[in-house]
Amino acid sequence: MHLEPAAFETEVESRKHRTRKVHPAPGRIPSDIWATLGTQPSILRAAGSLLNVVDTVLDDTALNGFAIIRPPGHHAHPDYPAGFCFANNVAIAAKHAVAQHGLKRVLIVDWDIHHGDGSQDAFYEDPRVCYISLHRGEFKFYPEGTEKFASSTGAGAGSGYNINIPWQQGGMTDGDYITAFLRLVMPVAYEFAPELVLVSCGFDAALGDPLGGCCVTEVGYGIMTRMLMTLAGGKVVLALEGGYKLEMISKCAGSVVRALLGHEPEINLVPLAPSLAGLMDIKSALDAQRSIPNSPWKSLKFYDGNSVDYDATFSTVQTPGNLPNKESVDSLVADLDSLSAK
């Protein structure tokens, strides 16, 4: 959409008062999306760049890869754009891997702080693609609605292949994310045995991000990347999604690239103990999966959430009352920056 300056100002004013529709009218771009003359070429380059990385990995020319692309994609639905996303790069890559390379099992892990509603929509009934998302799950947190809840587990043949781990508050740390990986993400991933792992790699859960409100460090992202590299013979492809603090985007991107190159993550200065709130959110996600009739995940059948004493599981567990606040986050960022400078 190209607008002359006067028309552009009118459009800006109208969008300030427009209620966002879940399904925009045909031909209209929703109010959280802006487009210029260069948007369409950017969309094609972003999706095409990721497909090139996927082809390179699946052709055994490279073991893994990281597509640093813009615009992002995981909010884009098959029939409309949303949330700064026009084309769902990772969903397109997964479809490409299945259709063009004949893959039967593709795993998508989405650790962007916002739920990838577009990715979920694309594969909700497809057992060939297992979608696992870790995100803020409060109803009013973008994208609004109940689709991001743990109860959204897939439908039809895809029942159980959609896994949401929604945090019901901010402040989640490396310990919360890694515990979610150990208790739910990796058991399912090993059982699914993917032939390719795609990561919707948003860095807006990172420490100090102004929108995400969480506390994952670059070391945490490196650890999660290394864990995923044990799958699919190491065929792991990351695609950049969200992130709103440039300094942390660069630090976290550097950390995952080092992990992809085979380097072990640096020593984590932050305790890896999960919060009590995080444990309860993980339990809710586990319970949602265990309640599915004929669940595909035998590895989760032996998990009895009711037998876990969450108050005593970790001696250093963080309770909701002492989750990191703004002052402690700012102090931790300063400490990490000073160490990096040395």
Residues annotated as catalytic are 75
d(C-alpha 76, C-alpha 13), whole Å: 24
Cβ pair 82, 75 in contact under 8 A: yes
CB-based burial label for 63 (10 Å; 0-12, 13-18, 19+): middle
Query: Which residues of 215-279 form beta strands (DSSP E)?
Result: 236-240
Token reading at 128: 């060939």
d(C-alpha 114, C-alpha 166), whole Å: 10
Who's near 81: CB < 8 A, 6+ residues apart? 29, 30, 33, 75, 87
CA-based Rg of the chain, rounded to a whole angstrom?
20
d(C-alpha 77, C-alpha 340), whole Å: 40
Who's near 80: CB < 8 A, 6+ residues apart? 23, 24, 30
Cβ pair 209, 113 in contact under 8 A: yes
Q: In Å, what is the CA distance from 40 to each residue of 37, 43, 63, 124?
A: 7, 5, 30, 27
Query: Which residues of the chain form beta strands (DSSP E)?
Result: 65-67, 106-110, 129-136, 162-167, 196-201, 236-240
Token reading at 168: 């019901």
Q: How many CB atoms lie within 10 A of CB 252?
A: 28
